[in-house]
Structure 1
């Protein structure tokens, strides 16, 4: 597990290149072993989730970013399937609403943060504001930002400030007890093609495909540049990125669960210890129950 966490972790963007990460890597694991390995990881995570809730000191925010068909939905489903749903909340961010555009780009994401003791999952996130908007800068005009009247007004300084806002936002959260895990599911262009074809061929999955997906696929290189830059600019010791191989879904789930478990272990969680007065009350309650 420690090897998996170390291999995919990006804490410093200096020298980071997305091309250095193999989308098909599986660390010697075999698919036949995957189900049991994943179950063991989830079972151990379940115990720590209970401690996270009881301690009420930290919140865990898990961010999923990826190209279409990289497996975000199935990864969330499988890696969190054995956890207590009362302690989890999942938000899938679509295009901003009219109300969202009336606020700064972080507003709707701040409103969706998990409370202390809980695990929050963001399927897409505030990073869309330096990814899809980087590839489609015309979308930024909907934000009615001061000094941005045309696409030509969006320069390097604009993006530097946006990365700075994200780093400051995440630092503020971590300083106040929200632990952040950022996953980029690294799927290859060839694997995306195969998954698109399966969606088209399977009537039960037709709804997951849109002709717009093909248009976005044509901008693959632009998206790779945007992801590489975003990770390079926002990977820190406190808020690292994990570039997870996504061509083999069964290994993707093992890698994600390994990172989540390792992160929770690192918090060194403990159940609250009652003060003497409260412990005495507990003992008295026990005596009363035993007399019934």
Structure 2
């Protein structure tokens, strides 16, 4: 009997400094698979609601405790569903202590600093769950595909990212990174849907078509980036993203497992409040 897939089957092998880059093939992971699903969308939605309620309680503990921090990084090709994942996974979660950071193209001021300068100030504070919708990883993807970074510059940025995330982890931040893995055919269908529906034109950018022409280059850049920056303290997970409902469940399951592993508890009761009556 075949072993049932588990979350860690989709974790990218950890970077091994002795080997430089641990090789793995992104092409071996099917974007259309549903490893945690029963096959029914309604079942996925029901499970997502269950996880959402549990995450809400755990996130409240995190915020009340104000000691630990959690950072969720979402990366993926255009239309892979970063916005949709945020809406679905955090639909039931109290916004108190939750912060979403959508990274755009760097401003002139940001470009005048090192590439991590704008990122550090957005890292989660104590008691906070922060979600990066795109992230510092854009700076080792887009410039690589456009030929703006040579190999040495790219490797240097990979090292800087590992060290930066190591510093965050040492300071009490738990990091989970998800690459939303969509197929080229599914991306075509989603881009076409945006063009065909006038109410979705605001989501469409002509630059998406230029990036699509460089699909293979982006896949190669992702593969190298994932292999060079997946570490024990900041692992990458590949999330099959052709199914929106299953993508959402898989990210939610991963986040739930992470929160449960933190062993969160509410702060001790205050003795000074014992027996106090409000008149």
Give TM-score scaled by structure 1 length: 0.88
Hey, what's the Cα distance between the residues in 2 that align with 1:272 and 1:208?
43
Tell me what 1:79 maps to: 89
Tell me what 2:18 maps to: none
Tell me what 2:34 maps to: 26
Match of 1:117 among 113, 127, 130: 127
Tell me what 2:114 maps to: 104
Kindly indicate which of the two structures has a greater share of residues assigned to helix.
1
Report the Cα offset of residue 3 of structure 1: 4.8
Hey, what's the Cα distance between the residues in 2 that align with 1:70 and 1:206?
17
| Mapped pair 1:195 → 2:190 | yes
- After superposition, the CA RMSD in angstroms is 1.4
Report the Cα offset of residue 16 of structure 1: 1.9
Tell me what 1:149 maps to: none
Q: Quick check: which has more Rg, 1 or 2?
A: 1
Q: Secondary structure at the match of 1:51?
A: helix
Listed one character per residue, the Cα deviations across residues 184-222 of structure 1 (whole Å, up to 9, x for unaligned) are 000000000000110110111111112221111010000
Match of 1:251 among 246, 249, 271: 246
Listed one character per residue, the Cα deviations across residues 26-51 of structure 1 (whole Å, up to 9, x for unaligned) are 12422121211110011111111011
Structure 2 unaligned spans of 5+: 16-21
- Counterparts of 1:3-152 in structure 2 under 5 Å? 3-13=5-15, 14-27=22-35, 28-29=37-38, 30-138=40-148
Structure 1 unaligned spans of 5+: 139-153
Taking structure 1 as reference, are residues 96 and 178 closer, same or farther at Cα in structure 2, changes over 3 Å only? same
Report the Cα offset of residue 77 of structure 1: 0.6
Report the Cα offset of residue 231 of structure 1: 0.5
Taking structure 1 as reference, are residues 96 and 131 closer, same or farther at Cα in structure 2, changes over 3 Å only? same
Report the Cα offset of residue 284 of structure 1: 4.1
Report the Cα offset of residue 172 of structure 1: 0.1
| Mapped pair 1:261 → 2:256 | yes
Hey, what's the Cα distance between the residues in 1 that align with 2:69 and 2:147?
33
Tell me what 2:19 maps to: none
Tell me what 1:142 maps to: none
Hey, what's the Cα distance between the residues in 1 that align with 2:53 and 2:85?
16
Listed one character per residue, the Cα deviations across residues 101-159 of structure 1 (whole Å, up to 9, x for unaligned) are 12110011111112111111111100011001111134xxxxxxxxxxxxxxx432221
Give TM-score scaled by structure 2 length: 0.92
Deviates most, 4-13 or 91-100: 4-13
Q: Secondary structure at the match of 2:109?
A: helix
Tell me what 1:283 maps to: 274
Hey, what's the Cα distance between the residues in 2 that align with 1:239 and 1:210?
31
Report the Cα offset of residue 183 of structure 1: 0.8
- 1:67 touches 1:187 (CA, 8 Å); kept in 2? yes
Tell me what 2:156 maps to: 161
Report the Cα offset of residue 162 of structure 1: 0.8
Hey, what's the Cα distance between the residues in 1 that align with 2:110 and 2:123?
16
- 2:13 touches 2:227 (CA, 8 Å); kept in 1? no
- 2:145 touches 2:221 (CA, 8 Å); kept in 1? yes
Listed one character per residue, the Cα deviations across residues 230-263 of structure 1 (whole Å, up to 9, x for unaligned) are 0000001110001000000000000000000000
Report the Cα offset of residue 10 of structure 1: 2.1
Taking structure 1 as reference, are residues 256 and 88 closer, same or farther at Cα in structure 2, changes over 3 Å only? same
